[in-house]
Amino acid sequence: MKKILATLLATLALVTGAQAAGGGFPLDKFPQERVTNLAALQNGAKLFVNYCLNCHSAAFMRYNRLKDIGLTEEQIKANLLFATEKVGETMVVSLSPKDAKEWFGATPPDLTLVARSRASHSGTGPDYLYTYLRTFYRDDTRPTGWNNLVFPNVGMPHVMWELQGQRAANFVEKADPHDAAKKIHEFERFEQLTPGKMSPQEFDSNMADLVAYLTWMAEPNAQNRVRIGVGVMIFLFGFFFIAWRLNAAFWKDVK
């Protein structure tokens, strides 16, 4: 018994330590209702193709699956089919991994499942992406000229800076709560350097649409799965009630 308790306490200590060590910039809550909004998903698909698909691929998603979010094959061909000529092809890019590693320091990851892979104790994958896309700032010490609060020293430049505008991040120096002899730089606020084509509210809304599309792309059948699950639970509860009443009827005369 003592060994079991010791093992449990050690495991709890490791989990708590890992959570404390993994704590970073707080994540904003992603508006989850966007995932079921077809207009938001269609706008997110447009943003993905125009801004993300230049470097990142989505090798497990085919263009014709976009018909599931209300787009016709003609709309896909006319507005979204830039990297290939066939609607049945996957969303891959022509950028070679060698060139990508040379330019950015690392090969841009495939984004098909990114909304699921970025989940952590700090928040869901969509929470991470929603905050990440909105916290780029100018940093002349970085090779790309950009940095990010959620992903410090990120190799990716801010590809949507024209929409958001250029911003600087202001930090304040504070004592480290774990070591009084050390100083830490804590984020205070953003300073707008140049205006963007969108207002802050419009940019946040568009980033929510983009994350909604990434979330849908990671599991296109999620809504069907939930719907089927609800139906199964209703059936099981109904069957349980019928079985319970039948059991009472069969055994009521047995003494």
Q: How far apart are CA 19 and CA 11, in angstroms?
A: 12
Contact 82, 53 (CB under 8 A): yes
Q: In the chain, at which residue ranges do the beta strands (DSSP E only) sit? A: 58-62, 90-91, 136-138, 146-148, 166-176, 179-194
Q: Which of 202, 201, 164, 211 is nearest to 33 (CA)?
A: 211
Residue 115 backbone class (left: φ over 0; alpha: ψ -120 to 50; beta: rest): alpha
Q: How far apart are CA 213 and CA 210, in angstroms?
A: 5
**In a 3-state reduction of DSSP, which class is residue 105?**
coil
Q: Please check if 178 is assigned to a binding site.
A: no
Contact 137, 160 (CB under 8 A): no
Q: Please check if 55 is assigned to a binding site.
A: yes
Q: How far apart are CA 179 and CA 103, in angstroms?
A: 38
Q: How far apart are CA 145 and CA 82, in angstroms?
A: 28
Q: Please check if 52 is assigned to a binding site.
A: yes
**In a 3-state reduction of DSSP, which class is residue 237?**
helix
CA dihedral (217, 207, 151, 173) in degrees, to 10, reads: -160
Binding site listing for heme c: 52, 55-56
Mark the binding-site residues, compressed into ranges.
52, 55-56
